[in-house]
Amino acid sequence: MKFRKLVLPLAIILSVAIILGLSIWFARPKTDKTVTQINYIISIIGLVGTIWTVIIAVLLYDRFGLKGNVIERQADKVLELIEFLKASHLFAKSSSMGYQLYPRIRNLTDILAFAKSQKDLNKIPVINSDDYDIYSHKLNEFDKDYWLPQTIKLKIQFLIIMGTKEIELNKKEHVRLLFGNKEENWCRYWPEITFGKFISNYIDLLKAIDRWMKRNHSDLIILDLI
């Protein structure tokens, strides 16, 4: 915060100015009554004390004030999202391969490379809507949660499905996304993306989480997202 950076130097300058003014006051001819001078000194000391009280309050604001409480609440929600992603056990199957989509950037990057070699990147993901409904219930709670940082909330949108249409499975064209145990009644969903784009979006989500935590809670925990 720029204001906080300016508070300390401005307060020092003001304090020095007050001290100089006090010195000039005493250097002038002694024509005023002693009581008036004492009252003046007490007022100056009180003013300087007030200034430094304000300085301390502003400098400690981020640590003990509202902003700190907001960051703590947001961090709790981000950690909850991480636990949800890790516990979801998202899996994908193509005609020739199975992919464990564990929420780790290195793992998903390797899958991107391997899926390219298997010509699976341009295939369309399909889902079982019943299994997805169970998964999406908690996901929608995150999407509506006030405390989840907006930069992360934007990145989970690829997991939120707007509509589905039941289809006949074609293993040459489709990759099955498994949110549970059901492998029947497959549906295409909207907005539609390729399997490669799905993985790329997942990587972007993990990077957004990692950046936010390092920026706001770098000393909190090792997230194991890389």
Q: What is the pLDDT of residues 69-116, one digit of tens each?
A: 888 899 999 999 999 999 988 999 999 899 999 999 999 999 999 998
Q: Which residue has the higher pLDDT, 225 or 163?
A: 163
Q: How many helices (H) and strands (E) does the chain have?
A: 8, 6
Q: What are phi and psi of 97, to 5 degrees?
A: -140, 160
Span of 57-71, 77-91, 166-180 with lowest mean pLDDT = 57-71
Mean residue pLDDT across the chain: 81
Do the Cβ atoms of 140 and 160 come closer than 8 Å?
yes
Angle 64-65-67 (CA atoms, 0-180°, nearest 5)? Answer: 115
Q: Is the pLDDT of residue 12 over 70?
A: no
DSSP sequence for 148-205: S-HHHHGGGGGG---EEEE----TTTEEEEESSS---SEEEEES---HHHHHHHHHHH
How confident is the model over 177-226, as pLDDT tens digits?
999 888 888 999 988 999 999 999 999 999 999 999 988 876 555 566 66
Q: Is the pLDDT of residue 67 over 90?
A: no
- SS3 (DSSP) at 100: strand
Q: Which residue has the higher pLDDT, 53 or 4?
A: 53
State the average pLDDT over residues 46-55: 61
Q: What are phi and psi of 125, to 5 degrees?
A: -70, 140
Helix axes 129-144, 66-87, angle to 10 degrees: 170
Q: What single letter denotes the amino acid at residue 53?
A: T
- pLDDT at site 51: 62
Per DSSP (E only), the strands in 29-122 are: 91-93, 98-100
